[in-house]
Chains A and B, each alone.
Chain A
């Protein structure tokens, strides 16, 4: 489990040191704004990771779709969302992957905290 100094449980604070560690990874995911880049990645994921200079650990986490691992290796959720989108995953899918739930279980968790719906 993630626990930093005075940090919040289960929360990977995206600060300077982590942004330094994840720069190449985030730069790669930022490139996915471009449709051609997304296609290039899909054709050869490893080669695309190498093009941006990812570390072996980051590259492995990309190939394994290890979202939590990518966050610990410096990935910002803003750019990882673009990676997830490329894979056809939405934020509930990504929530499920990170919390060990199916997407349906994750949605049920969200609903369990809810308020204000079905009030007419």
Chain B
């Protein structure tokens, strides 16, 4: 069977991609943020995963309001990035995967999740910034990526408990796949932040650190929140915690935290990074 070898959480904000393009990693503003990544890159280099399942949200590159999936699963051999309108550089195509991804599609629908299944989608910074962080110099094309997109923009959006359950269903699907592939799972985005309204700029570092603890030891506690709760406690875009919960769901059993970093503010956000392994 295919095996999930670990889970990674990371921010995906555009400012990170722009900082990497400009070579700002070692500047005072950025150094403590980028310090999070060498241990994770080293682990990836040792483990050499074949496939990455990446939970992200599209910010209006591919998925506009006209037909916006609540959950979307990519089943394509490759994914293009494109101009997002405000200056982040477009990166080379991401390699896709069409065997495990179709198996996941079958298993999800068999177990009462009904995602939109996508054979041709562009992927935005929500997915490309994390890949660029994991594999600097854009050396990510050997890795087969399965994008899983969650609506974090327009209410109604899927509940934290539902995102966690989606992750669990995907985790079980990977376990039941006849193959020996090594799979890493990324939960991207977060943590506390708010871009819109008079409350723009709100960050809650206590919430962020507590959420990182709970993600390891008590993820079910995080599934008790509603999306409205997350907005109130941690800002309008803190609903991106849902991608972290989905990642954690795929890991099924207990996990141990191998590595953690947290820096705030990075741009308008609290930026958390974790590497989790199954116990």
Residues of A within 8 A of B (CB): 1-2, 6, 8-16, 19, 23, 26-27, 29-30, 32-35, 38, 68, 71, 76-82, 84-86, 90-92, 94-95, 98-99, 106, 109-111, 113-119
Contact A86 B85 (CB under 8 A): yes
A65 to chain B, nearest CB (A): 15
9 pairs, CB–CB < 8 Å, chain A vs chain B = A8-B228, A11-B194, A68-B197, A77-B195, A82-B86, A95-B195, A99-B198, A116-B262, A119-B32
Contact A91 B231 (CB under 8 A): no
- Of A33, A98, A109, the most chain B CB neighbours within 10 A belong to A33
Number of interface residues of B (CB under 8 A): 44
A68 touching B228 in the complex, CB below 8 Å, given contacts A81-B86, A115-B205:
no
What's the Cα separation between A71 and B200 when bound, in Å? 12
User: Which residues of chain A come closer than 8 Å to B153, judged between CB atoms?
Assistant: 14, 76, 78
Which of these binds chain A: B58-66, B133-141, B167-175? Answer: B58-66
A86 touching B198 in the complex, CB below 8 Å, given contacts A110-B203, A113-B264, A117-B263:
no
| Chain B window 122-151, contacts with chain A (Cβ cutoff 8 Å), 1 for yes, 0 for no | 000000000000000000000000000000
A92 touching B267 in the complex, CB below 8 Å, given contacts A11-B231, A117-B32:
yes
B265 at the A interface (CB under 8 A) = yes
Contact A9 B156 (CB under 8 A): no
Q: Which listed residue (A14, A90, A116) contacts B154, Cβ 8 A?
A: A14
A98 touching B65 in the complex, CB below 8 Å, given contacts A15-B156, A82-B85, A115-B205:
no
Contact B194 A13 (CB under 8 A): no
B83 at the A interface (CB under 8 A) = yes
B54 at the A interface (CB under 8 A) = no
| A10 closest partner in B (C-beta) | B199
